[in-house]
Each structure stands twice: as C-alpha cells, then as structure tokens.
C-alpha cells in the first residue's frame, strides 16, 4: 500500500509508528506532511520516510490518504485538495467531523471515518472505523489492516463515533490520571516514586489484559480479588465514597459532548 499521512502531528505520528513497526508497508511507500519544513525534516530523519510540506505532492504518491489534521482545519484544507484526492481512499481521523461533511468536500473520493488513539505508537492502540458511501469491502479491509497493525480495530456505525472519541480517543489521558493517582497513593505509603509508577502501570495493564483475554466482566474479575473483610474491599469502599464511577463516566459524557461540536 502507498500511504500518505496529511498532518503528521501526535496522532498521525502514532499511527505512522504502528504501521512501520508492524511492517504493514515498506517505508519507501509512506509519505507524510506537516506545515513546517523543520518538522518535516525531523520526521523524515526519525522514521526514514519521505516527508514534505506539500500535500498535493504527497497525495500524488499515494493510493490511500490518511488525514490527521485538526478538526478545525479540515474544512479549510480538504476542499482545496478535492481534485488531487479524486479516486483515492481517504481515511479521516478528525474528531467531530461527519462523513457527509467529508463527502461534500471530496465528492469524488471514497471516505472512511476513523478514530485511533495515541497508544498506536506502541502497537497497543484502539481504532474504530465508520465507512462512508460507496466504500468497498476491500477498501475497508485495507483501512483495517493499517490500524490493526497498530493495535485493535473495529467497525461501528457513524452514530457512535462521538462516544468513541470520548471513550477511547480521550481515554488514555483519563487513564494516565488514574495511574498517577495510584502511584501517588503508593508514594504516600512509602514506596519510591519510580517503583510506584511501574507497579501502577503494570497493574493497570494486567487488569486490562485480563478483561480482553478472558472476556470476563470487569465486575466479576473485581469480585475475584475482593475477599471478605480484606484490604481490597476497604479500598473499594473508599473509591465509592469519592464517587469515582460517576466521575469517570461523566468525564466520558463531557468529552463526547465536546467532540460532537468540533466539526462545526
């Protein structure tokens, strides 16, 4: 696959890292763009790919175009590139921008809406795809292959994409806060900071992997750890006192609301 990534910032670079680490396509088949020459040179040197500030040049070298610009910029950029994007498969990651908006800006392109997250950089990402009008199964499989190389990938109807953005798109930031809080608790009880962070991170990773690998319900797995009159139930009750469930759920709710308005 010849792939172009337009707007290779944090998210674009995360997907790029996953693609290259998995060997989804050869480095010579990837071209990325950014607004600044210095950043383009740095990306090219770090990843060994073609990097430029010329979007039209990058599109011309590709069959699949991944658009990873800010949502506010999508409406300015994509209509100006509609001719160059004609006949291409265009995968767009802009939060809050709807398929009908993309299709109005690029009427001769096949559009797939995607929401990856930054753990794609270490091939532990979560991406959801929503296909637009006329997307073939082959095109969807190509998109799936790109993101599956960087973690897990699923296909959902577009109506779910704002909630996906709030949960898995913003979710790593929420998880980092929880992780930091757990580590702080360890430090408060005498653990060295570096040990506390490693313990908290591996504990969260292991718990998440248990859910994914066993398909067990989180509540059932929690109960397996919670013995009568033990230390775990004491800690859980303290968490409930702090309304942690409703606070985290509300964080997803608020992130989803904001995501729905990002596309204008």
The pLDDT score that the predictor gives to residue 259 is: 92
Instruction: Tell me the C-alpha distance between 115 and 113, whole Å.
Output: 7
Strand, helix or coil at 112?
strand
Domains of the chain, residue spans: 3-164, 171-261
Domain 171-261, CATH class in plain words: mainly alpha
The pLDDT score that the predictor gives to residue 79 is: 96
Bridge partners (DSSP) listed for residue 131 = 112
Contacts of 213 (CB under 8 A, 6+ apart): none
The pLDDT score that the predictor gives to residue 2 is: 94
Q: Are 156 and 126 in contact (CB under 8 A)?
A: no
Instruction: Tell me the C-alpha distance between 56 and 53, whole Å.
Output: 9
Q: What is the pTM of this model?
A: 0.91
**CATH architecture assignment, domain 3-164:** 3-Layer(aba) Sandwich (3.40)
pLDDT digits (tens, 9 = 90+) for 143-184: 999 999 889 999 999 999 999 999 999 999 999 999 999 999
What is the phi/psi pair of residue 25, to 5°? -150, 165
The pLDDT score that the predictor gives to residue 215 is: 96
The pLDDT score that the predictor gives to residue 23 is: 87
The pLDDT score that the predictor gives to residue 10 is: 85
The pLDDT score that the predictor gives to residue 213 is: 97
Ranges of residues in the chain whose predicted pLDDT is under 70: none
Strand, helix or coil at 27?
helix
């Amino acid at each position: 696959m010849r792939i172009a990534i337009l707007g290779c910032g944090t998210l674009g670079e995360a997907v790029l890292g996953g693609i290259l680490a998995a060997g989804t396509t050869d480095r010579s088949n990837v071209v990325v763009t950014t607004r600044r020459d210095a950043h383009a040179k740095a990306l090219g040197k770090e990843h060994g790919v073609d990097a430029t500030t010329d979007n039209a040049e990058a599109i011309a070298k590709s069959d699949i175009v991944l658009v990873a610009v800010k949502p506010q910029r999508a409406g300015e950029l994509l209509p100006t590139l509609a001719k160059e994007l004609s006949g291409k498969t265009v995968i767009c990651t802009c939060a809050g921008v709807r398929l009908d908006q993309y299709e109005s800006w690029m009427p001769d392109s096949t559009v797939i809406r995607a929401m990856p997250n930054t753990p794609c950089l270490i091939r532990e990402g979560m991406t959801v795809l929503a296909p637009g009008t006329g997307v073939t199964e082959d095109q969807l499989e190509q998109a799936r292959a790109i993101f599956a190389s960087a973690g897990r990938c699923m296909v959902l109807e577009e109506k779910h994409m704002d909630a996906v953005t709030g949960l898995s798109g913003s979710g790593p930031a929420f998880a980092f806060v929880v992780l930091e809080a757990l580590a702080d608790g360890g430090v408060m009880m005498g653990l060295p900071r570096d040990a506390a962070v490693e313990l908290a991170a591996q504990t969260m990773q292991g718990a998440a992997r248990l859910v994914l690998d066993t398909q067990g319900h989180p509540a059932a797995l929690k109960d397996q750890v919670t013995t009568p009159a033990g230390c775990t139930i004491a800690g859980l009750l303290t968490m409930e006192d702090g309304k942690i469930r409703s606070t985290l759920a509300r964080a997803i709710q608020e992130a989803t609301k904001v995501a729905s308005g990002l596309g204008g």
